[in-house]
């Protein structure tokens, strides 16, 4: 019987890559990198063999979609930020049986979901950035689930999370589940970015205060209240991908029955106007 043994909400800011390169950002995102290393270290201790990433950089317009290819290899350049992520090599094994099982479970639960085995369907950087650092601490297979959902409800994403849990439990996999996305996500307007040192600042004090409040709720285990405010939080604070990654995470953990007291492994930091962190959700 399989099990989700570790779960986390993770940042995937491109400046994590730049932090390891010569230039003005060198070393500036070490705390975020260290947070990924800590999550990877714990995955190693727990015998994780597969990471399931709910990726808010994979945009979808109909149905839900899973990248369940057997093998992933390539060079990635971001269409969004080609100046930040370019020619990044990657190579990971997949877990197609688990990806297919999640799609079937979700469809059986009433949410139409497709699992894909296509060499031309690339991983997005919401998966590739966390995997770049997690895999250094522990080698794991990866399944990527689209979580930038444009015409979908949080309740549907809750069902995707439920399907993840069902499929994992019916497998022989030990899984790290990652919700890959920010807290608030109001990127600085282009004309204001440079004047506000945008790479290292938040674009809205209201968003910052809401993010910090949410982190306190998570640390105190007040998830039922958070889920009541999730739709408004995602809307008013421009949650990345409408925070469907977070809805999937909670769906897998039991939704409003979840009581775990979260552990912040990377203190909150702003990036390009957005609010970022790494948080472990105890299973």
Q: Per residue in 60-115, pLDDT tens?
A: 999 999 999 999 999 999 999 898 899 999 999 999 999 999 999 999 999 999 99
Q: How far apart are the C-alpha atoms of 101 and 264, rounded to whole Å?
A: 31
Question: Regarding beta strands 64-67 and 113-116, do their DSSP bridges make them parallel or antiparallel, or are they unpaired?
Answer: parallel
Give this prediction's pTM.
0.97
CA distance 89 to 235: 34
Give me the residue spans of the domains in the chain: 3-281
Distance between CA atoms of residues 95 and 177, nearest Å: 14
Radius of gyration for the alpha carbons in the chain, expressed in angstroms and rounded: 17
Residue that is written with structure tokens 């909670």 in the block? 250
CA–CA separation, 155 vs 168, rounded Å? 20
How far is residue 191's CA from residue 199's CA, in Å, rounded to a whole number?
Answer: 13
Question: Exposed, middle or buried, 75 (CB in 10 Å: 0-12/13-18/19+)?
Answer: exposed
37 contacts 133 by C-beta, under 8 angstroms: yes
Closest residue by Cα to residue 251 from 135, 172, 150, 149: 149
Nearest by Cα to 277 from 7, 6, 10, 42: 10
Given a cut of 90, whether residue 2 has pLDDT beyond it is: yes
> What is the overall mean pLDDT for the chain?
97
Distance CA 246, CA 14 (A): 20
Enumerate residues 6+ apart whose C-beta is below 8 A from 120. Answer: none
Task: Tell me the pLDDT tens digit for each residue of 211-262.
Answer: 999 999 999 999 999 999 999 999 999 999 999 999 999 999 999 999 999 9
Looking up tokens 């770049």, which residue turns up?
132
The pLDDT value recorded for residue 225 is 98
DSSP 8-state symbol, 282? -
Query: Which fold is adopted by the domain 3-281?
Result: Protocatechuate 4,5-dioxygenase; Chain B (3.40.830)
């Amino acid at each position: 019987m399989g099990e989700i043994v570790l779960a986390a909400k993770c940042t995937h800011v491109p400046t994590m890559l730049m932090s390891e390169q010569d230039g003005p950002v060198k070393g500036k995102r070490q705390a975020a990198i260290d947070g990924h290393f800590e999550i990877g270290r714990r995955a190693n201790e727990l015998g994780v063999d597969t990471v399931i990433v709910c990726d808010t950089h994979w945009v979808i317009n109909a149905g839900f979609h899973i990248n369940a290819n057997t093998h992933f290899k390539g060079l990635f350049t971001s269409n969004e930020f080609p100046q930040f992520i370019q020619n990044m090599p990657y190579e990971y094994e997949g877990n197609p049986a688990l990806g297919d099982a999640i799609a079937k479970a979700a469809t059986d639960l009433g949410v139409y979901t497709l699992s894909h085995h296509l060499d031309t369907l690339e991983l997005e950087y919401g998966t590739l950035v966390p995997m770049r650092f997690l895999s250094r601490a522990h080698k794991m297979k990866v399944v990527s689930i689209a979580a930038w959902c444009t015409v979908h409800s949080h309740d549907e994403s809750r069902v995707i999370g439920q399907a993840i849990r069902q499929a994992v439990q019916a497998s022989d996999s030990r899984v790290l589940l990652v919700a890959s996305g920010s807290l608030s996500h109001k990127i600085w307007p282009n004309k204001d970015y440079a004047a506000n040192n945008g790479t290292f600042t938040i674009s809205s004090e209201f968003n910052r205060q809401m993010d910090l409040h949410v982190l306190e709720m998570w640390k105190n285990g007040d998830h039922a209240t958070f889920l009541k405010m999730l739709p408004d939080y995602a809307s008013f604070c421009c949650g990345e991908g409408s925070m469907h990654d977070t809805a999937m995470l909670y769906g897998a953990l039991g939704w409003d029955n979840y009581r775990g007291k979260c552990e912040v492994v990377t203190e909150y930091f702003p990036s390009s106007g957005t609010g970022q962190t790494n948080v472990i959700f105890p299973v």
